[in-house]
Amino acid sequence: MMKSNSLRSYFLAGTGTAAFALIGVICVLAGRPALATEQFAKDTGKSCGACHTAAAGGGPLTTLGEKFHANGDKLP
């Protein structure tokens, strides 16, 4: 009888670990991509640095970037 309980405990522990790992993988894969893209910069004629403090894009927004975001992601 003792062996049965030990096997059940190992099975339940393994199942919980597998479920936790699966949830972690799903969270990583389901991450949302950035909405701004190089194509957006090409379409608007603006560089990434027009809306972001870093010239290559990313980081805090400039005044134009804040206005763009406040305007529903459309150029003001």
Rounded CA gap, 50 and 5, in Å?
64
Residue 31 confidence (pLDDT): 65
- For residue 61, the SS3 value is strand
Q: List, for the chain, all residue ranges whose pLDDT scores fall below the cut of 70.
A: 1-14, 31-37
| Whether the predicted model's global pTM rises above the 0.95 cut | no
Token code pair at residue 26: 């799903």
Residue 19's Cα: distance from chain center in Å? 21
- Kindly state the tokens that stand for 63: 């005044």
Q: Where are the chain's structural domains?
A: 1-31, 38-70
pLDDT of residue 63: 92
